[in-house]
Structure 1
Amino acid sequence: MLAHISAEDLRRIYLDFPIASCVIGRDGRVLAHNREFADVVPTPGGDVAGRYVADVFGAIVMEAAERTFGAFDQGAQEPQQEIGLFGRVFIVAVRPLRDAAGAVTAICAALTEITEQKRLETRLESANRELQAANRRLAEAASTDALTGLWNRHALEELLPREILRCRREKAPLSVLLVDIDDFKKYNDRYGHLAGDDTLHAVAQVMEGVLRRPGDMIARFGGEEFIVVLPGTAAAGAIKVAESLHKAVEALDIEHASIPGARLSISVGAACLSLIPPNTALDEIRSVLIERADQALYAVKAEGGRGIRLHWDGGSLPSSDGQLLPAR
């Protein structure tokens, strides 16, 4: 069928073809181009025939053309490439033009503009990043106590089972501390709830600063009570952390005229499992740790507060008659 199309017809088809196209010779000159291609190049009249590719498009495009010639000489094919030209973006497809002996004499490049698609992709990527950031902020808000900036109970319910599993897998101990601000109701009654909120935040931040290891966590457990989870920490280490919490809160030197000593203080109850039982449900382990720490905290409060007490498990899951030991 091509036999009935004259060379002039083919020339007109090429010139009017709706995709920008040009022919580049081995010497790096633009041998020919169609009308659509003329609109790509911001030159008077748009005619770049006879000009060097490097002069029109820059050295990077010339280097790409040289690589393309080399690939075609080796019998390889060149995949489509994305290229930016004069503030616009194109997909470029190239094909070799060969002489009768099969040697590559020139390459034909067709340029399909995708500028608008790239703009849409960029906006979509930006929107996706903003959405991901918003989702992260929502997730953090859902897991963060607004007043203290610590983890909240929701986060604790997710993180504590994870740490129990990890300690079980690594055959490592796990300790939990329950911390209560002594006579905080009296503090609120005397100084007001705004001052109470400021104090809660200050205590929370200074206790968080005590925790050094990445796996340690502190969460607001409710009201003026906090919980500290110490993976890989045995009883002696838990007591040391509790003592550090005490010192950090005392160093705040917050007046509390309604209690003996006239300075804000905390009470700490501790519980430790030196080995996580392999066949015990996570909920049961969680409950045992928190209940034992709560029992130890209750004993401290019953003696007037300002102390530390440990509920030791003896190396296994504690029974209901676990011994309360005084703080060192």
Structure 2
Amino acid sequence: MNNEKKRHDHHDEDARHLFELLHNNSDWVWEVDAQGRYTWSSDVVTELLGVPPEEVIGKTPFDFMPPGEAERVACAFGAIVTEKRAFSGLVNRNQRADGSIVVLETSGIPLFDEHGELRGYRGIDRNISNLGERVLQLETIYETTPVALCMIDREGRLVMFNKAMAKLLGDNAPLETERRFQQLIPDYWPFFLTDFALAESNEELPSRELGWRDRCYDIQSVPVRDAMDGVIGLSVTWVDITERRQAEHKLASANKVLQQYAQHDHLTGLFNRRYMDERLLNEIARALQDDFPLSVCLADIDYFKHYNDTQGHQAGDDCLRLVARTLTSARLRSSDNVSRYGGEEFLIILPGANLAQAMNVAEGVRNDISALKRPHSASPTGFLTISIGVATLQHGQLRFEEKPLHMIASGLIHRADTALYAAKKQGRNQVVSARDGHASTESTP
């Protein structure tokens, strides 16, 4: 009998001790039913919420929260109940009886009946008001920032993500029970495996530009480490740069158009003089370096001023375009360059062509223009013709190497111009070459 009484007394002592711990602990211990209504509460609730335990029984945690907070936490808790899982670290604001706010961190475990049905939760609330507001502010910033954010663990689970990330994923946004990143966007998972490996080696993680559903994102991963400095996950930012890339593409296209305008004559579509002067310097440098000849042909439409005066400027423009098309015919090689050098003058650069080859090209072009039989009443022939002067930088002319390129180019153009002047003086509609500064007729009509 004495032993039985001792056991009973010892049991009572343990129960009193347990209740003292529950009611005098800094943490609020509670139980709720499957609908979230309090069924038991420790006395600590009075310190936290300013109400005695009996006033919380039958109510839910959301009855003690501001409206907006109640909706947010109810949504999060509803997902937890649906999965019937334990939870921890659920930070929430609560309104005390005096109207002040206390920030609690809630954790709980599910309780099941003998049939395995969820009958409620048992848990604790801890006062974290000193840090809680800061935590909630950071959570709000994380959740509402327009930049998509997520955290991926080593197994590929999408541990957390904000609203912008959910919008990015769209229909692929995971449910609570389906958060494997490699299932959501499988093509990208290898990139994050590489990031994990780099993070383990303490190497810098590169940013990547990736596309998803017609959008372009700049993606940057940052390793998340535990207390032992082990990599447990990646925090990933997804910055939408679609508009930036589209703007850059438009700018590049605009620059290309501007470059076309800067390099081409607007009337004929040929290269302009500014571009051709630069091109000639490059071709001369290449000819001297590789020791091969270079020729230029300077062509001029005969009696063009009279053509403009009699036919009109519109006809003159059409004439210039016709000559330009003829000069760029299949007779010229792809490496040859043709430009409108000024007014009715055209320059042809012939890399690798010696004087004889250049004269043949020039004579062919002259014949092509004559063959057009374009009426020209001011010309003695009665149709459109051109005159051409040809000059050549001969193979082996190493003495030119001692001169600046611009002087070589200027001298070459001057010699071609002198030959062109000679062609004009000798009756036009002919090709004349320049040999060492002296013009000589190579071909006549």
TM (normalized to structure 2)?
0.55
Please say if 1:255 is aligned against 2:371: no
Please say if 1:327 is aligned against 2:443: yes
Change (3 A) 1:41 1:171: closer
SS at the partner of 1:209? coil
Residues 213-235 of structure 1: CA distance to partner in whole angstroms, max 9, x if unpaired? 34321222222111212121100
Residues 174-219 of structure 1: CA distance to partner in whole angstroms, max 9, x if unpaired? 1111111112222222211110110111101210224633432122
Q: Quick one: which amino acid aligns to residue 294 of structure 1? A: D
Change (3 A) 1:238 1:93: same
Q: Measure the CA separation in 2 of the matches of 1:289 and 1:108.
A: 69
Please say if 1:285 is aligned against 2:408: yes
Q: How do 1:65-76 residues align onto structure 2 when only pairs under 5 Å count? A: 67=193
Q: Measure the CA separation in 1 of the matches of 2:296 and 2:182.
A: 72
Residue of structure 1 in register with 2:349 after alignment: 229
Q: 106, 110, 123: which one pairs with 2:243?
A: 123
Q: How do 1:102-181 residues align onto structure 2 when only pairs under 5 Å count? A: 107-112=232-237, 114-115=238-239, 118-119=240-241, 122-181=242-301
Q: Which has the larger radius of gyration?
A: 2
Q: Quick one: which amino acid aligns to residue 267 of structure 1? A: S
Please say if 1:297 is aligned against 2:430: no
Q: How do 1:48-63 residues align onto structure 2 when only pairs under 5 Å count? A: 48-51=175-178, 53=180, 57=184, 59-60=186-187
Q: Measure the CA separation in 1 of the matches of 2:164 and 2:433.
A: 81
Residue of structure 2 in register with 1:246 after alignment: 366
Residue of structure 1 in register with 2:429 after alignment: 306
Q: Measure the CA separation in 1 of the matches of 2:293 and 2:216.
A: 61
Q: Measure the CA separation in 2 of the matches of 1:23 and 1:304.
A: 84
Q: Quick one: which amino acid aligns to residue 287 of structure 2? A: C
Residue of structure 2 in register with 1:315 after alignment: none
Change (3 A) 1:95 1:212: same
Structure with the higher fraction of residues in strand conformation: 2
Contact 1:145 1:220 survives alignment (8 Å): yes
Q: CA deviation at 1:81?
A: 7.2
SS at the partner of 2:296? strand
Q: Measure the CA separation in 1 of the matches of 2:379 and 2:152.
A: 91
SS at the partner of 1:299? helix
Q: Quick one: which amino acid aligns to residue 197 of structure 1? A: D
Residues 273-302 of structure 1: CA distance to partner in whole angstroms, max 9, x if unpaired? 213522123333223222222222222222
Residues 122-160 of structure 1: CA distance to partner in whole angstroms, max 9, x if unpaired? 333333333333233223323322222222222232222
Q: Measure the CA separation in 1 of the matches of 2:195 and 2:439.
A: 84
SS at the partner of 2:370? helix
Instruction: Calculate the aligned-residue CA RMSD, in Å.
Output: 4.2
Q: Measure the CA separation in 1 of the matches of 2:195 and 2:290.
A: 59
Contact 2:338 2:346 survives alignment (8 Å): yes
Q: Measure the CA separation in 2 of the matches of 1:178 and 1:88.
A: 51
Please say if 1:218 is aligned against 2:338: yes
SS at the partner of 1:296? helix
Q: Measure the CA separation in 1 of the matches of 2:216 and 2:411.
A: 65
SS at the partner of 1:278? helix
Change (3 A) 1:237 1:37: same
SS at the partner of 1:285? helix
Change (3 A) 1:248 1:50: same
How many residues are treated as equivalent by the alignment? 299
Q: Quick one: which amino acid aligns to residue 300 of structure 1? A: A
Residues 39-70 of structure 1: CA distance to partner in whole angstroms, max 9, x if unpaired? 85589xx99444462697354577778x5899
Change (3 A) 1:38 1:24: farther
SS at the partner of 1:125? helix
Residue of structure 1 in register with 2:49 after alignment: none
Q: CA deviation at 1:93?
A: 4.3
Contact 2:423 2:441 survives alignment (8 Å): no
Q: Measure the CA separation in 2 of the matches of 1:143 and 1:88.
A: 33
Residues 3-39 of structure 1: CA distance to partner in whole angstroms, max 9, x if unpaired? xx998659688x966357668686x777xx56x6588
Residue of structure 2 in register with 1:208 after alignment: 328
Q: 271, 283, 292: which one pairs with 2:391?
A: 271
Q: Quick one: which amino acid aligns to residue 324 of structure 1? A: S
Q: Measure the CA separation in 2 of the matches of 1:123 and 1:155.
A: 34
Q: CA deviation at 1:242?
A: 0.4
Change (3 A) 1:93 1:10: farther
Higher relative contact order (CA 8 A, sep 6+): 1
Structure 2 portions without partners, runs of 5+: 1-25, 28-87, 90-104, 108-127, 143-148
Change (3 A) 1:153 1:127: same
Q: Measure the CA separation in 2 of the matches of 1:281 and 1:24.
A: 65
